[in-house]
């Protein structure tokens, strides 16, 4: 059996590429927040999203199966001379259960390994 290459999808059949991941922890609530950044959205290119079904959730697919999570928020950031060029998309996920966090982190480790991403601490100000 071949291992499933980890993929991320908003739309069925259209894989997206994560550019950056920010992990945060709210000490008051214990919730963990993840911000996934996409510098390019394949679903937006040439209106591919109109030909595919929107899942209303982010799907993280790997060898363990599919994680389906509804984002807390999605923010589109535009720039360029006319202000109409997509610069990036930030997708915020809130994970409140330890078992869900462990499963998410397992996915992220496999995704990072498959896509050449590395972990680094953000300097404290």
pLDDT 10s digits, 17-64: 999 999 998 888 888 999 999 998 888 875 655 655 556 789 999 999
The dihedral over CA atoms of 80, 75, 6, 60, expressed in degrees to the nearest 10, equals -160
Every domain of the chain and the residues it spans: 7-115
Closest Cα to residue 37, out of 87, 80, 72, 84? 87
Phi, psi (5° rounding) for residue 98?
Answer: -60, -40
Taking the whole predicted model, whether its pTM rises above 0.85 is answered as no
Q: Measure Cα distances from 55 to 4, 35, 68 in Å.
A: 20, 19, 9
Phi, psi (5° rounding) for residue 34?
Answer: -120, 130
- CATH ID of 7-115, from 2.40.30.220, 3.90.700.10, 2.40.50.1020, 2.60.120.620: 2.40.30.220
Which pair of structure tokens corresponds to residue 80? 């360029």
């Amino acid at each position: 059996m071949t291992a499933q290459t980890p993929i991320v999808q908003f739309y069925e059949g259209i894989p997206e590429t994560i550019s950056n991941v920010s992990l945060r922890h709210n000490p008051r609530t214990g919730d963990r927040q993840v911000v996934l950044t996409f510098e390019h959205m394949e679903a937006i290119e040439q209106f591919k999203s109109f030909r595919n079904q929107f899942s209303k959730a982010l799907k993280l697919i790997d060898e363990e199966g599919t994680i389906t999570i509804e984002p807390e928020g999605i923010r589109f950031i535009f720039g360029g001379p006319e202000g109409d060029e997509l610069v990036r998309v930030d997708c915020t996920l809130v994970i409140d259960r330890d078992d869900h966090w462990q499963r998410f982190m397992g996915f992220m480790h496999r995704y990072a390994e498959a896509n050449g991403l590395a972990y680094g601490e953000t300097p404290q100000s």
